[in-house]
Every structure is written in C-alpha cells, then in structure tokens.
Chain A
Amino acid sequence: MFGVLFEQTADGQRYIDWLLSGLGWTLALAFFGWWIAFGIGVVVGVGRTVQNRFLAIPARLYVEIFRNIPVLVQMFLWYFVFPEVVPSALGDAIKQIPPPWASFFPALLCLGLYTASRIAEQVRAGIEALPRGQIEAANALGLSGYLTYRYVIVPQALRLIVPSLTSEVMGIYKNTSVALTIGLMELTAQARQISEATFQTFTAFGAATIIYLCLALIAYQGMMLIDKAVRIPGSAPVKLSADADLAAEVQQAGALPNALEAAK
C-alpha cells in the first residue's frame, strides 16, 4: 500500500523524500522551538512566583497573552503583522528573507513563545507544590533569593514537572503542523501535497500518521528516561495538589501504553 511513496515525482525525487523533508522541518521546528520555550518558560514561571511586582506582573501578562490567543492567530501575527508594525527598515529586511526561512523563523518564534507560556504555568505549579520548609531552610542558611531559586527551588520544581512536560513536548511537535498555514512544507503539508499529486490520500495521510505516532512514542519514552535519570534516589515522587496532579496525569496518560497498542 505504501508502494506509491517510492514512485518518482515530477521533480525527479521520490514521494518518500518529500515526506522525509517534511519530517526534517517538523523536527527542526519542534527541537529549536522547544529550547526557546523551555528557557523562556522557566524564567517566566519563576517570575510568576516571586514577590517583586516588577517581575510578577510582566510574567503574568506574558502567560495571559500567549496562552489565550490561538496558535494559528499568533502564527499570522508573526508572519503577516509583525513585519508591518516594526520600523520599516526592519520590516523590509524581514520581507527579504528567502522562502523556507521566511516561514520557518516566524513559526519558530510563534511556537517557542506560545509553548513557553504553557511551560511557565507548569513551572509555577511545580514551584508552588514544594514544601514551604525548603525556602525557610534556604533562608536560614543565608542564601539570597537568587541562590535559593537557582540551587534549591528550580532544580526540585523541574524534577517534579517532568511528567507534565511530556505533554508539552507532544504539544509542540503537533503544533508544528500549524506552520503549513504560512507556507512551511512540514510533514502534514507534504502529506497533503502527496495526496494531491497521487490521489493516494489514504497512503499519504497514513504514512504521516505513522510518523507522528512514532514521534509520540519517542517523545514519551525519552521523557520517561529523563524522569528516571533525574529521580532523586530513595524518594517517592512528590505529589502536586490533587487537582494539578489529576491534570498532569491526564496529560501524561494515553500516550503510552495506548500508543503502543495502537501501533500493533
């Protein structure tokens, strides 16, 4: 059934090359977007928990704005609107960027900043779940606010939220498909293109679906490994609040073993 993927395309490649090139863009977008998101997410998440208003209010605004506008709309804002509202010299420079990158960079920025707002909320939940005594002990030892966050709070909070970050990893690679609306030929776009070129819709979408399932499996397994690697010896995982715990479990559940069964 997947034979058509190995047929020649009009441009002398095989259809599977289209798919693989799409996968490449998807992975690049997800990978680099993730690190942007993680970096900003941790900073903003910490900002949500500090007393200082000059940090807490911008952090809160960041989360509110980026979490409450659909990814697709944000994609359009970065792609269509951003070059128009910055000084025209910069805007013109942006418009000079050649094709795949002209879509890639706005998509990267969009997914990175959007996912950061979601990670920030996870980080905040992780920090708020820590026992109060940890901060008191750090204070009693004379650690400053920065040192307390750097060495005591953030390392523990990040360990706590590894399971719920799994869903953010899966979220960002799924959201890469939104980049097709601004012309990036990522995996879903390539599948659609193959379907239109060959009329083998079932094969084209089927192949893309299987690739996405594999990515889900890899993401899940990878996060399990990380969870195991950073688990503190001798300790049971600390529970988040019942409500957040349920949410984390919901996000985490269903990827696997269900994904395994589906792949059978």
Chain B
Amino acid sequence: MPQETVSGTAQAAPIVVVENVTKRFGAFTALNDVNLRVGKGEKIVLCGPSGSGKSTLIRCINHIEKHDGGRIVVDGVELSHRLADINSVRCEVGMVFQSFNLFPHLTVAENCMLAPMKVRGISQAEARARALGLLRKVRIQDQADKYPAQLSGGQQQRVAIARALCMQPKIMLFDEPTSALDPEMVKEVLDTMVELAKDGMTMVCVTHEMGFAREVADRVIFMDRGCILEEADPETFFRAPRSERAKGFLNQIIH
C-alpha cells in the first residue's frame, strides 16, 4: 500500500491521536515526544527492542499508564485524568495482555460476560449469547463453562481476545500477545488475530511476529529508547530499514 494512502486514511478519520506524549518512570524516560495517528480500520505493528517504550505506548492509549505530557485522543475523547473520560475510552478500546490476565475465579463465559453486563448494562442472556458467539469465532465455544486454569495458554489467550471483543470495541490493542506462549500455540493465536484483521478491526499490536506483520500490517513502527525511529509499510521496512538500529534489531529477531 502506498505511503500517501495510509497517512491519508489516518488523517481522514483518526481514531487514535497521540501528540508529543512523554512518559517517565522516575529518572527513566519511557516515551519521549511520541506522535502517532491511527486511522479507522488501520492495522499497526509496533516493534523494537525491549525497553523501547512500545508496551508503554499502547498502555497509555487506554490509560493503564498515565502519560506525563502531550495529548492522547481516542475516538474524539481526550484522555485527561477525569474518570468518566477514562472509562468511556476504555469501553471503546479492547486490550489483550502478554500474560492473558483472565479472571481465574470466573468461567470462560463469565469472563466474557462480566464487563458487558456491568459496564454496558446488557442483560445476562444477551451477554451470554454474545460471549458464546465470540467464543465460537475464536474456536473455543466448547470450553465456555471451564475455568481459565483448565485451558492451555493458547486457549486462554484466545479467550482473552474474545473477552475484549465482547465489549464491541472500536480498536484492539495487543501487548505482546504471543510472547508468553509455548511455540506450538503461537499460531492459533496469530490465526485468530489475522481473522480479526480481515474483519476490518482497527488494531495496534506490539509483537515480534514478523510473518504476522507482513500479512496484515498497514504500517510497521519501529521504536527505540522511547522514540519512534521509523515508520513504513511492512515490505519497505523489512526489505530496506533506514536506521542502523532497525537493521540491528531485524538481524537479531530473524536469526
């Protein structure tokens, strides 16, 4: 996809706007003046060495981390420190964590039903129907009444994806969704994500799965030391990375 078109969509209908955002943990600067626009339906892959700030960036987008400076606007709502804004943004933003973070005391279906019922206020029957529908989509409907600890890691991560989708978010954030998985389970999770991408979901993914990036990403963003160093379509990025650091990084993950 040509560069102009991509940035064109982003400017036409940006659903996430990150402007000059900084974030510090004590003396450590995790994000340094970061700018990012995500258009509706866009799929973005964030990569970079560990500690580069990529996880921090997406955690700021739904305010799990508070940014210290700059502006973040999600679906027209600026993330201030007002609770009402934060919660309304979080309803529109689904998040999938590296360590799944399923609620262990609730069944798979209950994990998916909790937030729609309590936050969106839909009925139990409707929540269950929606949960089962999405569990079918991630091919795990027969496990609906089991507890998370009874499932494999790959299954748990697919449940986590279904749980986030049950809130019918406008955008999905993935924070290294396959890093905690055994190698044989990575594919089932990536397949689910690819399908989701094909359905037109807006996605921001922190991942090192370059096959996935090639297949679905509109843009690959390379971060290092809290800054965005490079931004390109996947073909360009993988074939001809501009910065030395990106080259080094790609060499490391390929070998």
Contacts and interface: CB of A to CB of B under 8 A. Distances in A.
Q: Is the interface of A mostly helix, strand, loop or mixed?
A: helix
B99 A140 contact: no
B129 interface: no
A152 interface: yes
Contacts of A141: 90, 114-115, 119, 163-164, 167
B122 interface: no
Interface residues of A, number: 22
Contacts of B94: 140
A124 interface: no
Interface string B124-140: 00000000000000000
Contacts of B97: 133, 136-137, 140
A40 to B, nearest CB: 23
Which bucket holds chain B's interface residue count?
A: 20 to 34
Interface string B65-95: 0000000000000000001000110110111
Nearest to A155: B105
B147 A140 contact: no
Most buried by A among B64, B88, B146: B64
Contacts of A20: none
B105 A143 contact: no
Interface stretch (A77-85, A171-179, A188-196, A231-239): A231-239
B51 interface: no
Interface string A133-173: 11011111111100100011001100100000000000000
Interface in A88-144: 131, 133-134, 136-144
B102 interface: yes
A262 B95 CA distance: 55
A142 B119 contact: yes
Interface in A222-261: 232-235
Given A139-B63, A142-B88, 14 more contacts: A131-B101, A134-B101, A134-B103, A136-B101, A137-B95, A137-B102, A137-B103, A139-B62, A140-B62, A140-B93, A141-B119, A142-B119, A143-B114, A234-B146
